[in-house]
Chain A
Amino acid sequence: MSANAPRASEAPEDPFRAPPGQTAGEPMIRTRGLSKTYTMGRMKVHALRDVDLDIERNEFIAIMGPSGSGKSTLMNLLGCLDSPTAGDYTLNGQGVSNLDDNELAAVRNREIGFVFQTFNLLPRATALHNVELPLIYAGVGRRERRERAMGALDRTGLSDRADHRPNELSGGQRQRVAMARALVNEPAILLADEPTGNLDSKTSYEIMELVVNLHSSGQTIVLVTHESDIAHYAHRVTHFLDGRLVSDELQTPRIPTPPVVDDNE
């Protein structure tokens, strides 16, 4: 399976991931008074209010909350898909709250790996090409692109399916392609939005095992979910309600175990 065996939960700092010239103590993500307000006609909707959140390097944090709680808005802001109405956001030492669209695109390209509930692969492209996509926009040359994309597919255990198109892959395999795409640019954070929402429990377990392995190898992971089952894998769980951060707790993560399958054939 994966080249990286699950390690103990102490999660050592990977020396290669710490950027030179920065103190190891500076958080990967720091938000101060982060707010987002939508104006609908004359009504103002406060999707997110005054969120102060620090996420350290190599943390595995779950963001939970019911729909309408603001967790999607937070994820869009953390993922640099959107700009806050107020407040500051520092990602990997760079202030990103006042960037224009193209600068945000560059930050997304370098620092963020997205994993979506619906995979969001390009349907007509092979797995390899899908994984290459961020590198294409980073301007990486063809040969290096191919090498690195194969490497990323290898990390998610799907290098033998590189030439397959999404419709030739199972749901779990598609999500592995999506994760390889998220990892290929060695992002500062992996942002997973309900990554198991469209998968059965067995496949969910496999994907979460992969996520845990990535975390063990030093990856910072932000997981947005409303399933407490999935949130249990994280070291830290935050809850949102009505746009506010209402709880933030450390926990002992669950070790991935295969689910009890009751619909055995």
Chain B
Amino acid sequence: MSRATSGRQRSNTAVGLGEGVAIALDSIWANKLRSFLTVLGNIVAVSSIVLVVTIIQGVNAEVTGLFTAEGADVFNVRRMGLSFSHDDFMAMRNRPRLTRDDARVLRESAQTFAAVVEQSDGNARVEYGNVSLDRIDIEGRSFEWGLIDGTGLAHGRYFSLLEVQRNRSVAILAPDVVDELFPGLDPASALGKRIRIDDIHFTVIGVSNSRGSAFGFSQDEVAIIPIGSFLRLFGSRRSLEFTVKPDSPEMLQEAMDEARLLMRVRHQLRPRDDDDFAIMSSDTFVDLYNQFTQGIYGALVGIVAMSLVVGGIVIMNIMLMVVTERTREVGVRKAVGATYQQILWQFLVEAVTMSLTGGIIGITLGYVAATLIAAFTPLPYVLATWSILAALGTVMIVGVVFGIYPASKAARLDPIEALRYE
């Protein structure tokens, strides 16, 4: 106290941190292979976190985009629900078709519906002059489609009520079809052109905006025609599907209940019978998709937890070995005044640094793998910052949990014994 020690402060943590990181990096570098093997568990765990999360986040972005384009405030009435087994599918095959009469009844009876769109999809050859496009998606739509369509038109107009009622041969084309049928031409000049869909002439009355792409596939290879014209082309025994827009988004659930009731009455179902149709909103798909990703995340947590425990035990083993190797060093440090806390901190920092190094390598590998996958497959990717932070946080915790025992072993060493250690 009385000695000339002004300016000296003994700060346990600051001392350990600087020294610890320096020692750790030095020792990791000095034993490259051993260090690599030590942190292999961490590398595997972290790169799988980053890779899987990155891919799933990418798919999420894509899927969410799809559903919002479809519209969150509408629902569908369909003949077939989602089937997860062959038996389900076979059972649903016997269900009654949804017809234009069904749609008329829904429109006339329902109190909560703003619009009911009748729709059916198929594909056919589309031609103009000597250009022929195979397997273009043909979408049959009733008049109401124009009222609720979220994509919008770039040029021209939607079907008029009269055109739909009279089954006129008019068509609205998506941009890719326009580009391919009329190469080099201004899209607006497609209006009024006479094209052929499966050898029937149609007049182009509109060009839609682009719907973008999903999973790398364009959604713009589409021609939309009135539902009646569609049924003439593809046969009237097809089942329809209805898209219903409620009076207001808040009434979605109410409207779905009403649609269900009306359909059950129309199909003369008894109270105990199951529905022989399906009612689905975009929530149905989102829920399903979420269940699916939850499953993947669950499996991920399992794999990651396992490799982290294995990795942590390896780190602990190596740290115990390191402590033994450096017993004399600990003796020297204690002799010149290192306290219990300072030694503990030094070895803890070393374990955490090693663990974090593995984590950083893992992040890099995971990111590179995700980038490669995104480059060579249509799977998109989004690098989620939280996945990196979570990974780093986790390996840090692993370093502390599995480093504390070896570190306290080092800190407890008796300086006299340690100095004598050979």
Contact = CB atoms under 8 A, between A and B. Distances in A.
The answer to whether A and B belong to the same complex is yes
Contacts of A120: 328, 331-332, 335, 419
Contact of B340 (A93, A102, A108): A102
A202 interface: no
Nearest to A94: B1
19 contacts: A19-B2, A19-B3, A20-B2, A21-B2, A81-B415, A82-B416, A102-B339, A102-B340, A102-B341, A106-B337, A108-B334, A108-B336, A108-B337, A124-B27, A133-B332, A137-B333, A141-B7, A144-B7, A181-B336
B340 to A, nearest CB: 6
A248 B329 CA distance: 35
B174 to A, nearest CB: 67
Given A19-B2, A137-B10, A137-B342, A81 B416 contact: yes
B15 A139 contact: yes
B416 to A, nearest CB: 5
Contacts of A79: 335
A240 interface: no
B372 interface: no
B30 A124 contact: yes
Interface in B1-49: 2-5, 7-11, 14-15, 18-19, 26-27, 30
A76 B420 CA distance: 12
Nearest to B9: A139
Contacts of B331: 120
B332 A122 contact: yes
Task: Return the 4 tightest CB-CB contacts between A and B, nearest first.
Answer: A109-B337, A134-B336, A137-B337, A139-B9
Nearest to A21: B2
B322 interface: no
A80 B332 CA distance: 13
A220 to B, nearest CB: 14
A121 B331 CA distance: 11
A19 B339 CA distance: 25
B10 to A, nearest CB: 5
A42 to B, nearest CB: 22
A105 B334 CA distance: 7
B335 A81 contact: yes
Given A110-B3, A120-B331, A139 B336 contact: no
Contacts of B335: 79, 81, 108, 114, 120
Given A133-B336, A137-B337, A106 B10 contact: yes
Nearest to A109: B337
Interface in A95-151: 101-102, 105-106, 108-110, 114, 116, 120-122, 124, 133-134, 136-141, 144
Interface core residue of A82, A109, A141 (most chain B CB under 10 Å): A109
B191 interface: no
A22 interface: yes
Given A81-B335, A102-B340, A121-B332, 15 more contacts: A76-B416, A81-B334, A106-B337, A106-B339, A108-B336, A109-B336, A116-B419, A133-B332, A136-B18, A137-B337, A139-B14, A139-B15, A140-B7, A144-B7, A186-B4
A181 B335 CA distance: 11
B313 interface: no
B338 interface: yes
Interface string B398-422: 0000000000000000011001000
A230 to B, nearest CB: 21
A180 B18 CA distance: 22
The secondary structure that dominates the B interface is: helix
Contacts of A22: 2
Contacts of A134: 336-337
A113 B416 CA distance: 15
Contacts of A141: 7
A136 B416 contact: no
Nearest to A116: B419
A108 B337 CA distance: 5
Interface in B240-284: none
B344 to A, nearest CB: 11
A82 B417 CA distance: 11
Contacts of B27: 124
Nearest to A141: B7
Contacts of B5: 110, 138
Contacts of A21: 2
A138 B416 contact: no
Given A120-B331, A122-B332, A105 B26 contact: no
Contacts of A93: 2
A142 to B, nearest CB: 9
Contacts of B415: 81
A124 B26 contact: yes
A198 to B, nearest CB: 14
Given A105-B334, A124-B30, A137 B416 contact: no
Contact of A122 (B8, B11, B329, B340): B329
Contacts of A144: 7
Contact of A105 (B18, B337, B419): B337
Interface string A205-241: 0000000000000000000000000000000000000
Contacts of A109: 10, 336-337
A136 B332 contact: no
A59 B273 CA distance: 107
B122 to A, nearest CB: 75
Nearest to B336: A134
Nearest to A19: B2
A109 B11 CA distance: 13
Interface string A18-51: 0111100000000000000000000000000000
